[in-house]
Amino acid sequence: MKIGIVCYPTFGGSGVLATELGLALSDKGYEVHFITYEQPVRLTQSFHPNIYFHEVKVPTYPLFDFPPYETALASAMVNVIVNQKLDILHLHYAIPHASAAYFARQILKKTGNDIPFITTLHGTDITLVGRDTTYAPVVTFSINESDAITAVSDSLKEETYKWFNIEKDIHVIPNFVDVKRFHQSDKNHFKQMLAPDGERILVHVSNFRSVKRVPDVIKIFDKVKKVIPSKLLMIGDGPERQMVEDMARTLGIYNDIRFLGKQEQISEILSIADLFILPSETESFGLSALEAMACNVPLISTNAGGLPEINIHGKTGFLSDVGDVDSMAENAIFILSDADRLHHFKKAAIAQARKFEKQHIIPQYEKLYCQVITDYNIAKNKCLTGPSCDKFATETHI
Ligand code: GMT
């Protein structure tokens, strides 16, 4: 089967998940074609013979205050689908990928080269950006035009039904983690450097946007540090980084915090962490937290969105109301203040992460691809000889 994946190529969770999915599918022998404006971050780390990258170029012109990415993307989809003979297109993040796919399909229908497309909703495409009236009509229409819709958590599915008039079933396929890559490795020399007196290490990873409530991370750390000798690692970059760096200076705790910026080898950093802090305002899933849990790191988070679906209160960490930094700091201190307790939470975190191992989740996407291709071709009144679904259908009895 030949699968086209359309995503944002950046450090954001949707792009990361899309890339990890493409890598996992290519390992299983599928041919995967990424269509986006830059090489996705996690693709750059090694060469994969089944993976192709098609760069969407958006030529500029003095007339364009806003170069039309969606038009360039739809054209790229048309070209790749026809030339590479793709069987299915999988869009990650609704805006503008689903509407561009709809447009591409209208073009392809003229020549009978149209293929089905699946839209995976990731979070802010629904909870923040998508429901803005600027985008909502187009988002609603193009989600409904998708041949299948998936959401990364039950919570996101509910939010989608709440905010949009969706006429179809939404399949929940949770995010996953590759535990072969995300696991605790021995990085004691690194820990020694950052926490020379055996301090506890807290970590936060995000895009430093306001939805992440990064100032709350600093407030929590300030409270924890007063009770437990500790250090904080801040990974990622974004609009609020300067503000929180200034805040840390004002509080006099800057020297105990390392702002590491965007990092590719996240699992090495997570390997030395004792606690992951995620005080988000909304979070459809929290992929960064799952990756931390896979590296034995318990989680202090809010109870927003899909976080209660991965963070089990009192077991893998604790959940608090959004903005309740006192509760989050108290919970952090509770976990960190006793070595045996910390050990228990770490064990529970990794056990929970294993439930989201990629081998449990990838087959759900494979099954959906085959179902969608089969249904689409039946509807088009075509025979099923094209894509390699027959083989898969026999193996999985669908
Ligand atoms: O968290 C972000 O702002 C990035 C965003 C994205 O679309 O790249 O992440 C969303 O998708 C991730 C992967 O499915 C989820 O793990 C995140 O929870 C979700 N972010 C939000 O809902 C805020």
Whether 349 maps to a domain, the answer reads yes
| Residue 316 and residue 242 share a domain | yes
| Residue 368 and residue 350 share a domain | no
Q: How many domains does the chain have?
A: 2
| Residue 91 and residue 76 share a domain | yes
Residue 105 structural domain:
2-176+358-395
Strand order through the sheet with 88-92: 51-55, 31-36, 2-6, 88-92, 117-121, 148-151, 170-172
| 167 vs 390, higher pLDDT | 167
| Residue 387 and residue 330 share a domain | no
Q: Ligand 1 centre from 353 Cα, in Å? A: 18
| Residue 388 and residue 339 share a domain | no
Is 383's pLDDT higher than 70?
no
Buried b (16+ CB within 10 A) or exposed e, 33-46: bbbbeeebbbbeee
Q: How confident is the model at residue 52 (pLDDT cuts 50, 70, 90)?
A: very high
CB neighbours of residue 189 within 10 Å: 8
CB of 302 closer than 6 angstroms to any ligand 1 atom: no
Query: Which atom, in ligand 1's list, is nearest to the CA of 290?
Result: 16
CB of 202 closer than 6 angstroms to any ligand 1 atom: no
CB of 94 closer than 6 angstroms to any ligand 1 atom: no
Whether 182 maps to a domain, the answer reads no
CB of 31 closer than 6 angstroms to any ligand 1 atom: no
Is 212's pLDDT higher than 70?
yes
| Residue 348 and residue 257 share a domain | yes
Query: Which atom, in ligand 1's list, is nearest to the CA of 211?
Result: 23
Q: Which CATH number does the domain housing residue 313 bear?
A: 3.40.50.2000
| Residue 192 and residue 253 share a domain | yes
CA-nearest of 8, 155, 1 to 91 is: 8
Ligand 1, atom 21, lies closest to the CA of: 283
Peptide bond between residue 62 and the one before it cis (omega within 30 degrees of 0): no
Q: Quick one: CA dihedral 178, 80, 129, 208, positive or negative?
A: positive
| Residue 377 and residue 322 share a domain | no
Is 11's pLDDT higher than 90?
no
CB of 153 closer than 6 angstroms to any ligand 1 atom: no
| Residue 139 and residue 279 share a domain | no
HSE-CB for 303 with a 13 A CA cutoff: 9
Q: What pLDDT sits at residue 389?
A: 57
Per-residue pLDDT tens over the stretch 288-333 = 999 999 999 999 999 999 999 999 999 999 999 999 999 999 999 9
